[in-house]
Chains A and B, each alone.
Chain A
């Protein structure tokens, strides 16, 4: 073991001269130091995956219910903080100013809904997957099948953005083109998910969380210190930087007799740019309605995401389910308080025209690089971004595979399947899904955060209303659930159809109207309430919920 450590240290020292050269360009060259950090991180993940590998279906699906509340909170945070949180959010704020904050608020505020409306009740209901709950609560095999399919589709849509983020970071580190980077990254994440299952993934998620937080926070402390902001709490200290962006900083910017420069030697200065912070600025092409619609869709979607809901099955007790949300949210907020700081420093550091146009989704890494942060620390940041994407993808692939194997294959097609067969089917499902996601990720259909928000809107229109009414209204019956689900699916299909036609250069009647009011990034603002209303109306006029379901809900779920 000592030999391994020594050889790693020697490798780092040997790369120091090379690292000086990597800074001459933001992209396009192989970065040795970051590559070593990335490989070491990935090897750790695979080893942990092997060490804590799933031995039976219960382990694979729900980690054998052996996870503590803090551990589960870390896993929730790690599972949650994807490439969209790590890379995408700062990219949205960098590109669209205040509207990017709708993602910050939407992706955290949803946890309040999740806690007060879902977490403990889901755990009390005592099922393994979202489709399990829906099939049982609405006493319907059809609903089980449809919700399992939507679980797969939601996980699929969510994964597309993640694979895009993995591709961007592999591209930055290895210097390969985007296509090869996505293919390599996808292969590695698939390999480790197959080896580990959820119990390995849960352990990995705890390690990944530490890597994510440490790698995300260190560069911001360094930059806040370097550019003379309050660095002890940079999550608050960057406030002065936001005001500087709004007012502008003339060049040269001198502090203590020394000019503040970025890694290119450009002055740390900017022309007045109020559009960065002012609400729904016209020049960013965003509106108040979009802010509210995105925020609402993300919040409601959070409470309907199968892979998030599934995490509440892995805690031993009901109280743990509640506290794991609190821990999870706190751990998430540590990163979310910091993300806007990256976009702010990114704005300041990239204001010189010589920097050129930067890819929004990689702005976190570019900011650290332009801020003159040591390339090893930037490498750690990139490894953190990959960890974020990996941890989420692992959870999503497991959720998708669970739906495929447990909810479709075992419960519908082959109830007598042995545990070994179940595990085999889960792994085949994982492989098929990963391959399909890789192909779609290569199409580059949008920014990471936008791609991920499609999954949230889908979840908000389909899964969320079934859970909300299924838990909180005994009158919601099978017919109502089917009608509500149909309404949610209809809105989803309309929005996706217009998006796909628009992307392929075509036009449908009312293209602009639908693209704005029912945009694919936030169609849940209308889809989710509509699904709830339809469910209620149809339930009122059809055969009531059976007695045993009502009794179970009243006595077991609501004490």
Chain B
């Protein structure tokens, strides 16, 4: 009589030699696959260190002095630049952008003389009005309005350049113009005052290690490994598996 036990099998306990060899191939493939994918990420996680950008050190040095209004002109420029570097990241949440805008406006208008301040505030108001209109117009009118905005921005940039130190046409200059508020806030709100150092730390600290700092074919190594190499490995594993299995089937005379 046929016993049910004669046909018991599992991946771990195959029924015959062919099955055991199959199992070994499968386990080897799975091991390579798991170590390559997850082992590397665990390694990356294990050796990472929170590493601040240089800008954060600038900010943390100058911020206490700014609070006590104890800064010289070049310090203001450095402090402003550190805020601009964060504002320019497009991962910044809208709520944090608002605080950064407030801080950038406060610092800028603290160092700019009153005569230029009112000129810049009027200019910003005019630019914002034009920017609101630009989404409603098309073609030539769009191009004309765009040119007017650029012209107005250029005038403000020239006026502000001696105080912020941003070069003409630089990205920092553009971010600076987009950050200025229409109304001079006077000083930072209590919430912004508390949140600003936290925001700076959040956006200027990154998980880095030797694997992220080494470059390979232009990539940070870890990025190359994950985005390029792992995919190559997957294709290779599949090809090797197929070749191995079919070679063994042929060798053992098994027809599927």
Q: A278-B207, A288-B45, A326-B242 are in contact. Are A550 and B4 (CB under 8 A)?
A: yes
CB within 8 A of A116: which of B30, B48, B215, B216?
A: B30
Residues of A within 8 A of B170 (CB): 250-252
B186 CB, min distance to chain A CBs, angstroms: 24
Contact pattern, A 202-244, Cβ under 8 Å of B = 1, otherwise 0: 0000000000000000000000000000100001110111110
The segment from A145-153, A263-271, A376-384, A484-492 found at the interface with B is: A263-271
CB within 8 A of A351: which of B10, B90, B143?
A: B90
Indicate whether B203 reaches chain A with its CB closer than 8 angstroms: yes
Residues of B within 8 A of A559 (CB): 18, 254, 256
Q: A105-B230, A322-B242, A329-B235 are in contact. Are A473 and B207 (CB under 8 A)?
A: no
Indicate whether A304 reaches chain B with its CB closer than 8 angstroms: no
In the complex, what distance in Å separates the CA atom of A291 from the CA atom of B172? 33
Residues of B within 8 A of A274 (CB): 53, 206, 208
The segment from A332-340, A427-435, A508-516 found at the interface with B is: A332-340
Residues of B within 8 A of A350 (CB): 90
In the complex, what distance in Å separates the CA atom of A472 from the CA atom of B9? 8
CB within 8 A of B207: which of A239, A243, A273, A279?
A: A279
The segment from B36-44, B59-67, B113-121 found at the interface with A is: B36-44
B215 CB, min distance to chain A CBs, angstroms: 6
Indicate whether B11 reaches chain A with its CB closer than 8 angstroms: yes
CB within 8 A of B227: which of A25, A101, A267?
A: A101
Q: Which of B81-96 contact A (CB under 8 A)?
A: 84-85, 88-92
Q: Please tell me if the beta carbons of A115 and B241 are within 8 angstroms of each other in the complex.
A: yes
Residues of B within 8 A of A299 (CB): 37
Indicate whether B69 reaches chain A with its CB closer than 8 angstroms: no
Q: Please tell me if the beta carbons of B231 and A337 are within 8 angstroms of each other in the complex.
A: yes
Residues of A within 8 A of B220 (CB): 242-243, 246, 277-278
Indicate whether A519 reaches chain B with its CB closer than 8 angstroms: no
CB within 8 A of A472: which of B11, B142, B143, B223?
A: B11
In the complex, what distance in Å separates the CA atom of A276 from the CA atom of B206? 10
Q: Please tell me if the beta carbons of B208 and A124 are within 8 angstroms of each other in the complex.
A: no
Residues of B within 8 A of A317 (CB): 256
Q: Please tell me if the beta carbons of B142 and A116 are within 8 angstroms of each other in the complex.
A: no
Indicate whether B19 reaches chain A with its CB closer than 8 angstroms: yes
Q: Please tell me if the beta carbons of A97 and B91 are within 8 angstroms of each other in the complex.
A: yes
Indicate whether A551 reaches chain B with its CB closer than 8 angstroms: yes
Q: A115-B241, A274-B53, A474-B8 are in contact. Are A288 and B228 (CB under 8 A)?
A: no
Q: Please tell me if the beta carbons of A275 and B206 are within 8 angstroms of each other in the complex.
A: yes
A289 closest partner in B (C-beta): B45
Q: Please tell me if the beta carbons of B89 and A271 are within 8 angstroms of each other in the complex.
A: yes
Residues of B within 8 A of A340 (CB): 227
Residues of B within 8 A of A277 (CB): 212, 220, 223
Q: Please tell me if the beta carbons of A116 and B90 are within 8 angstroms of each other in the complex.
A: no
Q: Please tell me if the beta carbons of B237 and A112 are within 8 angstroms of each other in the complex.
A: yes
Indicate whether A416 reaches chain B with its CB closer than 8 angstroms: no
Indicate whether A354 reaches chain B with its CB closer than 8 angstroms: yes
Residues of B within 8 A of A546 (CB): 4
B230 closest partner in A (C-beta): A105
Contact pattern, A 268-302, Cβ under 8 Å of B = 1, otherwise 0: 01111111111111111000100110011001000
Residues of B within 8 A of A243 (CB): 215, 218-220
In the complex, what distance in Å separates the CA atom of A311 from the CA atom of B124? 59
Q: A112-B29, A246-B220, A554-B15 are in contact. Are A284 and B89 (CB under 8 A)?
A: no
Chain A residues engaging chain B, CB cutoff 8 angstroms: 21, 24-25, 28-29, 95, 97-98, 101, 104-105, 108-109, 111-113, 115-117, 120, 124, 230, 235-237, 239-243, 246, 250-252, 266-267, 269-284, 288, 291-292, 295-296, 299, 317-319, 322-323, 325-326, 329-330, 333, 336-337, 340, 347, 350-354, 357, 472-475, 544-547, 550-551, 553-555, 558-559
Provide 16 A-B residue pairs closer than 8 Å at the C-beta atoms, listed in order of the A residue: A98-B223, A116-B25, A116-B30, A230-B218, A235-B228, A243-B219, A246-B220, A275-B89, A279-B222, A288-B41, A322-B241, A329-B234, A472-B11, A550-B4, A553-B7, A558-B14
Beyond the given A266-B174, A281-B207, could you list 14 further A-B residue pairs with CB under 8 A, ordered by the A residue number? A25-B138, A109-B37, A112-B234, A239-B219, A239-B224, A242-B218, A250-B170, A251-B170, A275-B206, A283-B203, A322-B242, A322-B246, A353-B175, A473-B11
9 nearest CB pairs, A to B:
A239-B218, A239-B219, A240-B218, A271-B88, A353-B178, A550-B7, A278-B206, A472-B11, A318-B256
